């Protein structure tokens, strides 16, 4: 059974059509990245999944039940893009209140609140007013409230907002841990590299329509591999590899610790590289499109849709 199944979803606000045929299938136990430029319909889709908006057409089911039903809502944790707090409330009291709303007894809710605060990196801040937290710490608190009640589905809308690079990595590591525990994560982010780091599946939405969805690696294989472009190759014997690549007619150059490969036919280059590596017994560390495979896919699909 899918965690989320969306078919033919439409949402109309007056004369404005926000969603027009969105289709997504989110398997259980994965991180699913939902992507799209501002105004594509990501947040509207999320609000319908949560039952905060009624669809104008189509069907949305969560764990096999209609979106918005009580049984569905009690299984979801949600971190909105922007969350407002009562700054005078203590961190632990805020989470305890969220736990009680999730039908936890007060003592259990307080214990869970302290454990989750430590887990998100806020240990020692339990008895501090929320107003004393930095913007990044408030974002961690937002993740903590989404985890209260031990939800089966976690919906995260821009979860790394206001975090520094170290904080972003820590939160993304937590997302991986959540998925390893068998939970499902729906992640909406405009930072494509972050989505690529943690997502098994992706759905790309543009102008209220689904452009592509499925396993990330399958989409990348279909749309990126074999295409023209610039790739980075990182190996342990770059100078020797560079010489042989050029001898085999490959357009390649050194850029720091990597080799930049440019070609209009990456399938051919992809056959040459293993032979070159074997000839000098070089170990490959990385071979990927510059800018990231997901970025290549995203820009290609949006460009095709815009021109169409």
pLDDT higher than threshold 70 for residue 226: no
Q: What is the pLDDT of residue 64?
A: 94
H-type alpha helices, the chain: 42-50, 70-73, 91-101, 106-119, 135-147, 165-180, 192-198, 216-223, 238-247, 266-280, 293-307
Q: Identify the pLDDT of residue 88.
A: 96
pLDDT digits over 99-122, tens only? Answer: 999 999 999 999 999 999 999 999
Tell how strand 16-27 and strand 153-157 pair up: unpaired
The whole-number pLDDT of residue 292 equals 60
Residue whose C-alpha is closest to residue 233's, from 267, 276, 284, 282: 284
| Residue 25: how many other CB atoms lie within 10 Å | 15
Dihedral of CA atoms 178, 22, 226, 191 in degrees, nearest 10, equals -50
pLDDT given for residue 127 in this prediction = 96
pLDDT in tens, 133-168: 998 899 999 999 999 989 999 999 988 887 888 888
Q: How many residues in total does the chain contain?
A: 308
CATH number, domain 2-221:
3.40.50.300
Please compute the mean of the pLDDT values over residues 155-182 and round it to a whole number.
88
For residues 33-51, average pLDDT? 91
> Where do the domains of the chain lie?
2-221, 227-307
What fold does the segment set 227-307 form as a domain?
Alpha-Beta Plaits (3.30.70)
Q: Is pLDDT at 24 greater than 80 in this prediction? A: yes
SS3 content of the chain, % helix, strand, coil (to 5): 40, 30, 30
The yes-or-no verdict on residue 8 having pLDDT over 90 is yes
What average pLDDT does range 173-186 have in this prediction?
94
How much is the pTM?
A: 0.77
In the predicted model, what is the mean pLDDT of residues 295-304? 72
74 vs 287, residue with greater confidence = 74
When the pLDDT of each residue in the chain is averaged and rounded to a whole number, the result is 89
């Amino acid at each position: 059974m899918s965690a989320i199944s969306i078919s033919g979803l439409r949402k109309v606000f007056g004369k404005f059509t926000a969603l027009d045929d969105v289709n997504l299938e989110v398997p259980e136990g994965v991180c699913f990245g939902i992507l799209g430029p501002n105004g594509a319909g990501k947040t509207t889709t999320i609000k319908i999944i949560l039952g905060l908006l009624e669809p104008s057409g189509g069907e949305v089911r969560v764990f096999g039940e209609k979106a918005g039903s009580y049984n569905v809502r009690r299984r979801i944790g949600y971190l909105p893009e922007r969350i407002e707090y009562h700054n005078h409330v203590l961190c632990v009291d805020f989470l305890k209140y969220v736990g009680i709303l999730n039908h936890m007894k007060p003592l259990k809710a307080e214990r869970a609140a302290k454990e989750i605060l430590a887990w998100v990196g806020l240990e020692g801040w339990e008895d501090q007013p929320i107003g004393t937290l930095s913007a990044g710490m408030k974002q961690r608190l937002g993740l903590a409230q989404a985890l209260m009640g031990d939800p089966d589905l976690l919906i995260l809308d821009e979860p790394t907002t206001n975090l520094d690079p170290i904080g972003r990595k820590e939160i993304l590591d937590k997302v991986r841990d959540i998925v390893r525990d068998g939970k499902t994560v729906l992640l909406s982010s405009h930072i494509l590299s972050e989505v690529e780091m943690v997502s098994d599946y992706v759905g790309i939405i543009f102008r209220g329509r689904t452009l592509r969805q499925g396993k990330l690696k399958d989409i990348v294989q279909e749309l990126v591999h074999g295409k023209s472009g610039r790739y980075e190759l990182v190996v342990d014997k770059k100078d020797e590899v560079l010489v042989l690549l050029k001898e085999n007619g490959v357009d390649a150059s050194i850029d720091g610790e990597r080799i930049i490969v440019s070609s209009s036919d990456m399938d051919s280059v992809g056959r040459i590289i293993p032979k070159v590596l074997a000839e000098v017994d070089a170990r490959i560390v990385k071979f990927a499109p510059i800018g990231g495979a997901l970025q290549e896919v995203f820009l290609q699909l949006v460009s095709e849709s815009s021109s169409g």
